[in-house]
Amino acid sequence: MRCLSAIVLLVFAVLSHAEPGEMKPWAIVVHGGAGDPPSGEKRAEVGRAYADGMTRALRAGADVLVDGGEALDAVQAAIIALEDDPVFNAGKGAVFNAVGINELDASIMRGDTLDAGAVASVRRVKNPILAARAVMERSPHVLLGGKGADEFAQSQGIEMVEPGYFRTERRWQQYQAARKSGKFGTVGAVVLDTHGNLAAGTSTGGLTFKRFGRVGDSPIIGAGTYADNDACAVSATGQGEYFIRLAVARSICARVQYAGMPVAEATHAVIHDDLDKLGGTGGVIVIDRQGEIAVEFNTEVMNRGYLRAGGEPVVEVGE
Catalytic residues: 186
Provide the greatest CA pair distance for the chain. Answer: 58
For residue 63, what is the enclosing H or E element? helix 43-65
Cβ count within 10 A of residue 316: 18
Is residue 211 packed enough to be buried (19+ CB in 10 Å), middle (13-18) or exposed (0-12)? exposed
Residues 6+ apart with CB under 8 A from 78: 28, 30, 57, 58, 60, 61, 189, 191, 201
CB 61 within 8 A of CB 71: no
Query: Which ranges of 128-274 does DSSP label H, i.e. alpha helix?
Result: 128-138, 146-155, 169-177, 240-246, 248-259, 263-269
